[in-house]
Amino acid sequence: MERYILILIACLPLCLIAQNQMIVVSGGHVVMEDEQLVLFNTNMDNSGTVQASNNARVVVTGIASKSNSGVGGSGSTQLQDLEISKTSNSAQLNGNITVLDDVYMTQGNFDLNTYDLTLGTDPSSEIRGENENRRIYGPNGGEIVKVQTLNAPSSVNPGSLGLRITTPDNLGSTTIRRGHVPQMLVGEESIERYFNVTPTMPSSSVDLTFFYFDAELNGLPEEELTLWQTPTLANWFRQTPTGHNTTSDFVYHALNTNARGDITLGKDALFVQPKIFLQGAYSGGLMKSNLSANSLVPTTEPFAALGYAGIQNASESIPVIPAGGGNTPVATDIVDWVLVELRSSADPSTVVATRAALLQSDGNVIDADLLNRKAVGFIGVAAGDYYVAVRHRNHLGVMSKTTINFPN
């Protein structure tokens, strides 16, 4: 027989119900065994310790606003099972919590609200019943965390977080974190879901199936989604998907590298890295970097203000331009901003896409995301043949003599 709410009486005076709140004061300790605690239109504010075991379940239900339907607090909250069953409005986390067994998504959504929800280490501990109409989200931050040992996993979806993993390798104890803040890829945001995978041991090849909900698309065309990965937690790399099912909402990809780092979905992109030299600045194999040496390279791309239209990253800013060596530059000194254009193979006077980029002393043109020092990425541009043109505000523009084929 299930027992209800009697725990509130047992924990007085350290546990109070007041103004639709369950308050556990600092120093208070609530222990639940086999009970079912129903928070009906009630907010848990735990500044002490809440500990549940032996099939005890906390159910968040009712129609109260999200701010009045929270779980957790500044104290320690360790639950056995958690069920979200809101007939109206969402529920939310009020602090970091641990759920040893399962999170049941019965009805309504659950906002992480900048906090972490950590699942138990037992492989069977998971999220149950999550779908398009009842899901966990976190636009302001917070992550779902699952730690599980993965030894040659085959189609394993740890914690049912939505990342299915297959590899012949032993990854050891692997931490998987799912968040919902869009990631900035190449001047455009990803969908509202990402995973961070941190295995103990490296892998030679991994098959990943990335599941998502339509509500997380963030305005991106579903049919154009591709997988992006940043193994170093710095550079985002586009990975060509092996398969994409827009009905079942997943992208499948076989990686030939470590399944380490952040993984998300975003629009396809085409990468270009021209190499040019500016007359006047060129000297002895490098270009002088007097502008950056004297803090004269603007931190915001200058071309939009000069009247150039259609720039994908118009008015993009970076925090700082590192000071160059001036007359004694090094290869990675920043010389100035340039404008990179892809032009139609049928008519080179037709500009297909434009991005502002940065020019290094060694002639390499890099994306404006200075920290990554990567090729210039054009979002939403199909693979194909293009003329490549580069403009500088104080020089005549240049264009490739022939078209260049860009497979991706």
Instruction: Evaluate if residue 135 carries a pLDDT over 70.
Output: yes
pLDDT (0 to 100) of residue 18: 41
| Contact yes or no for 288/329 (Cβ under 8 A) | yes
Q: Which residue has the tokens 């099939």?
A: 55
pLDDT (0 to 100) of residue 35: 82
pLDDT (0 to 100) of residue 407: 73
Instruction: Evaluate if residue 2 carries a pLDDT over 60.
Output: no
pLDDT (0 to 100) of residue 142: 98
| Contact yes or no for 131/110 (Cβ under 8 A) | no
pLDDT (0 to 100) of residue 372: 58
What are the residue ranges spanned by the domains of the chain? 1-141, 142-267, 270-406
303-328 burial, b if ≥16 CB within 10 A, otherwise e?
bbeeebeebbbbebeeeebeebeeee
Cite the DSSP H helix spans in 108-203: none
22-73 pLDDT, tens per residue? 889 999 998 988 888 999 999 999 999 999 888 899 999 999 999 999 999 9
Coil, helix or strand at residue 82: strand
- Of 261, 257, 254, nearest to 199 by C-alpha is 261
pLDDT (0 to 100) of residue 408: 55
- Among 189-198, 291-300, 317-326, the minimum mean pLDDT is found in 317-326
242-290 pLDDT, tens per residue? 788 889 888 887 765 566 789 999 988 888 989 999 999 999 899 999 9
Instruction: Evaluate if residue 80 carries a pLDDT over 90.
Output: yes
Coil, helix or strand at residue 113: coil
pTM, 2 dp: 0.77
pLDDT (0 to 100) of residue 370: 62
The strand ranges marked E within 231-350 are 237-239, 243-245, 250-255, 261-267, 269-272, 282-283, 286-287, 334-344
Q: Name the burial class of residue 19, with classes exposed (0-12), middle (13-18) and buried (19+) by CB atoms within 10 angstroms of its CB.
A: exposed
Q: Which residue has the higher pLDDT, 357 or 382?
A: 357
Residues with Cβ within 8 Å of 114's Cβ and at least 6 positions away in sequence, in order, are: 138, 140, 141, 142
Q: Is 97 left (phi over 0), alpha (psi -120 to 50) or beta?
A: beta
Adjacent-strand bridge partners of 36 = 4, 57
Identify the CATH assignment for 142-267 out of 2.60.120, 2.60.220, 2.60.40, 3.30.160: 2.60.220
- Residue 19 banded pLDDT, cuts 50, 70, 90: low
- Residue 373 banded pLDDT, cuts 50, 70, 90: low
Instruction: Evaluate if residue 215 carries a pLDDT over 90.
Output: yes
Rounded mean pLDDT, 378-393: 91
Q: Name the burial class of residue 231, with classes exposed (0-12), middle (13-18) and buried (19+) by CB atoms within 10 angstroms of its CB.
A: middle
